[in-house]
């Protein structure tokens, strides 16, 4: 008689809601709710993502044994999906009419008073009618307890499980387990030092842990590293949206001159410093928006971005150095939203104190379900934890149904404006790229995390600087200073990228210096000012279609890489179904996309 497999569904029900499914220790699927609801950073109960994970795994929800939720506590405002709902204008209103009167004048103001007509974006599945819309600080203790009960009861009822089968896992512990167990080097290293940091989860901003032969030991956690929220507030002060546009600030930073950065750097230095494994915050920094707004108002925007990034790199490398010195461990893994900053990760990777560094894909809160599932396996002492394999690829979403491909081909926009070539080859796509044309690429299982890795991508010749202008102006509506990324054949990586320590370079999670040949062949796919790259290593056995296209392009041009950016329009998530290419991208009158390669079919704009 066959033993029933142990099935765990992982959930993140805060902002960037997501789900995963782990069967006998094997990660089968992981999907973000935003891909289903088509709203970036969608929060709340991830019903669509759960159903998609079950569908991919071929599992009925009645067969699920446990549910692992990637935070013990969630702020009620996140259950109301506040992160994607509020606009930049709303966030300024929130600062001026809520936070500053509350923090500086001790006024009793409630969030619902500031936004009396608040209506969250998307579909909220939790029954929140009896819970007031507000920050936890506004609510009665009974309301906060009721919200916790609603989470647990709703999840238990949805899966028809007893409540003791629903586990709420500490936020930063989930981050740590995800990074460690995804690490391909963990079996080579007896000890791994894992650092996590983000804008807060379960009352914690940062943690340091040691994994020794798979055993977890948390040596420090604190609520003092406020760098992630500081970065978000500076994003807002620069007129961009927090929790979404921090990467734009990072991309802007290299353009700043040294004399423009000096003043802002000193402002940040006076606000936050490292103290051993902890951090010290300036007590005057009650409200970060006002604190920095007052002190930075006489500085240029690029100087602010550059000063912030330099400060961030110095702060975190000092913290890492202290952690290595304290523990004697130089094999590092990191996770948490702060480490979406690839330049911080680059600075860590270049430290003489660091021997190895692993930065997994999707290391923000979207990966909490995966880490929480691994923590649960450890807590229940299940032997399938030993079956957890390092993460070889991030293609954890669903593959495409042929009916969905036909739905795109039959779409009125495609029928009117595009010719259809079935059984198209990699050579056909490579020829288009060689001619300087842009091509959307939709193939295989969807990527997990914020990066497109060749399965839901827009690609171009990486040597042509005009490719940047074409994509920015005709398709993506991106800011001019933002770099793209090179997807590079595995065997050509050392020709283009300087990676002496063999840092994992498969997921676009670390930035590297480029070689002289890289500066030439990848001119359009690296940062246009500092000439660094956040590459993706492309391997034949992991992504055969994408590898085949780049290989064909190499045979025609000698260049073993393509320029890659995500297949979406600005402000929308990466597409999940082929028809979304037409509905969301091509339906925009300003978009001009000449070619679409979808599951072996080439759609080309009619002349």
Backbone angles phi and psi of 111, in degrees to 5: -60, -40
Alpha-carbon 426 to chain mean position: 29
pLDDT surpasses 90 at 383: no
**pLDDT at residue number 384:** 81
Confidence of residue 381 (pLDDT cuts 50, 70, 90): confident
Half-sphere exposure of residue 83: CA atoms within 13 angstroms, side-chain side = 23
3 CB neighbour count, 10 Å cutoff = 6
Backbone angles phi and psi of 95, in degrees to 5: -65, -50
User: 187: which residues sit within 8 A by CB, 6+ positions away?
Assistant: 390
CB 440 within 8 A of CB 595: yes
| β-bridge partners, 337 | none
DSSP state of 293: H
pLDDT tens by residue, 8-27:
999 999 999 999 999 999 99
Confidence of residue 338 (pLDDT cuts 50, 70, 90): very high
Instruction: Choose which CATH entry (3.30.70, 3.30.420, 1.10.287, 1.20.120) describes domain 1-183+362-391.
Output: 3.30.420
**pLDDT at residue number 118:** 97
Number of H helices, E strands in the chain: 24, 23
Q: Report helix, strand or coil for 275.
A: strand
Domain ranges of the chain: 1-183+362-391, 184-359, 402-605
Mean pLDDT throughout 391-413?
Answer: 97
Rounded to an integer, what distance in angstroms lies between the CA atom of residue 481 and that of residue 491? 30
pLDDT tens by residue, 273-289:
999 999 999 999 999 99
Confidence of residue 227 (pLDDT cuts 50, 70, 90): very high
CB 121 within 8 A of CB 43: no
Positions of E strands within 236-317: 272-275, 278-281
Is the domain spanning 184-359 CATH 3.40.50.1100? The answer is: no
pLDDT surpasses 60 at 234: yes
pLDDT surpasses 60 at 1: no
E strand or H helix at 231: helix 227-237
**pLDDT at residue number 604:** 98
**pLDDT at residue number 382:** 80
pLDDT surpasses 90 at 76: yes
**pLDDT at residue number 475:** 81
pLDDT tens by residue, 163-193:
999 999 999 999 999 999 999 988 777 899 9
E strand or H helix at 561: strand 561-566
CB 576 within 8 A of CB 390: no
pLDDT tens by residue, 432-448:
999 999 999 999 999 99
Mean pLDDT throughout 558-562?
Answer: 98
Rounded to an integer, what distance in angstroms lies between the CA atom of residue 466 and that of residue 499? 28
pLDDT tens by residue, 485-520:
999 999 999 999 999 998 999 999 999 999 999 999
- pTM of the complete model: 0.97
Same CATH fold assignment for domains 1-183+362-391 and 402-605: no
Mean pLDDT throughout 572-598?
Answer: 95
Q: Report helix, strand or coil for 604.
A: strand
User: 390: which residues sit within 8 A by CB, 6+ positions away?
Assistant: 181, 182, 183, 184, 185, 186, 187
- What CATH number should be reported for the domain whose range is 402-605? 3.90.870.20
**pLDDT at residue number 143:** 96
DSSP state of 299: S
DSSP state of 241: -
Average pLDDT of the residues of the chain: 96
Rounded to an integer, what distance in angstroms lies between the CA atom of residue 187 and that of residue 172? 22
CB 331 within 8 A of CB 288: no
């Amino acid at each position: 008689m066959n033993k029933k497999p142990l099935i765990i569904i992982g959930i993140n029900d805060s902002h960037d809601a997501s789900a995963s499914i782990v069967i006998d220790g094997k990660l089968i699927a992981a999907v973000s709710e935003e891909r289903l609801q088509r709203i970036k950073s969608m929060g709340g109960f991830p019903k669509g993502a759960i159903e998609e994970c079950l569908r991919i795994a071929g599992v009925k929800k009645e067969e699920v044994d446990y549910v692992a939720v990637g935070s013990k506590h969630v702020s009620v405002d996140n259950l109301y999906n506040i992160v994607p709902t509020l606009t930049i204008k709303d966030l300024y209103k929130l600062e001026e009419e809520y936070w500053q009167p509350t923090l500086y004048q001790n006024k009793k103001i409630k969030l619902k008073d500031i936004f009396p007509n608040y209506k969250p974006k998307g579909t909220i599945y939790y029954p929140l009618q009896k819970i007031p819309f507000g920050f936890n600080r506004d609510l009665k203790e009974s309301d906060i307890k009721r919200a916790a009960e609603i989470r647990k009861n709703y999840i238990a009822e949805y899966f028809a499980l007893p409540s003791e089968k629903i586990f709420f896992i500490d936020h930063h512990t989930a981050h740590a387990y995800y990074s460690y167990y995804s690490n391909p080097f963990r079996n080579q290293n007896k000890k791994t030092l894992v650092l996590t940091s983000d804008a807060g989860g379960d009352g914690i901003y940062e943690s340091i842990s040691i994994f020794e032969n798979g055993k977890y030991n948390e040596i420090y956690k604190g609520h003092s590293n406020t760098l992630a929220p500081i970065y978000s507030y500076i994003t807002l002060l620069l007129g961009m949206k927090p929790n979404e546009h921090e990467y734009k600030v990072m991309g802007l930073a290299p353009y700043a001159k040294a004399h423009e950065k000096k003043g802002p750097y000193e402002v940040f230095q006076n606000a936050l410093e490292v103290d051993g494994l902890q951090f010290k915050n300036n007590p005057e920094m009650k409200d970060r928006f006002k604190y920095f707004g007052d002190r930075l108002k006489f500085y240029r925007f690029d100087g602010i971005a550059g000063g912030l990034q330099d400060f961030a790199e110095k702060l975190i490398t000092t913290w890492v150095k202290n952690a290595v010195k304290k523990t004697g461990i130089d094999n590092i893994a990191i996770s948490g939203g702060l480490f979406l900053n690839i330049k911080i990760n680059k600075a860590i990777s270049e430290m003489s104190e660091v021997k190895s560094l692993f930065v997994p894909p999707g290391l923000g809160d979207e990966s909490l379900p995966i880490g929480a599932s691994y923590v649960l396996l450890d807590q229940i002492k299940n032997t399938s934890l030993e079956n957890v394999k390092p993460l070889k690829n991030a293609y954890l979403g669903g593959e495409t149904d042929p009916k969905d491909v036909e739905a795109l081909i039959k779409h009125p926009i495609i029928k009117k404006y595009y010719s259809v070539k079935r059984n198209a080859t990699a050579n056909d796509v490579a020829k288009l790229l060689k001619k300087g044309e842009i091509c959307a690429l939709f193939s295989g299982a969807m990527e997990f995390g914020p990066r497109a890795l060749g399965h839901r991508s827009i690609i171009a010749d990486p040597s042509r600087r005009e490719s940047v202008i074409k994509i920015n102006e005709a398709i993506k509506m991106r800011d001019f200073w933002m770099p793209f990324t090179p997807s590079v054949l595995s065997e050509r990586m050392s020709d283009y990228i300087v990676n002496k320590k063999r840092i994992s370079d498969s997921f676009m999670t670390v930035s590297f210096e480029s070689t002289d040949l890289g500066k030439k062949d990848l001119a359009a796919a690296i940062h246009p000012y500092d000439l660094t790259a956040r590459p993706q290593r492309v391997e034949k056995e992991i992504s055969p279609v994408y590898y085949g296209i780049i290989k064909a392009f190499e045979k025609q041009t000698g260049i073993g890489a393509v320029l890659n950016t995500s297949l979406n329009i600005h402000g929308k998530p990466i597409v999940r179904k082929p028809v979304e290419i037409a509905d969301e991208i091509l339906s925009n009158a300003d978009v001009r996309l000449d070619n679409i390669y979808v599951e072996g079919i080439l759609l080309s704009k009619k002349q």
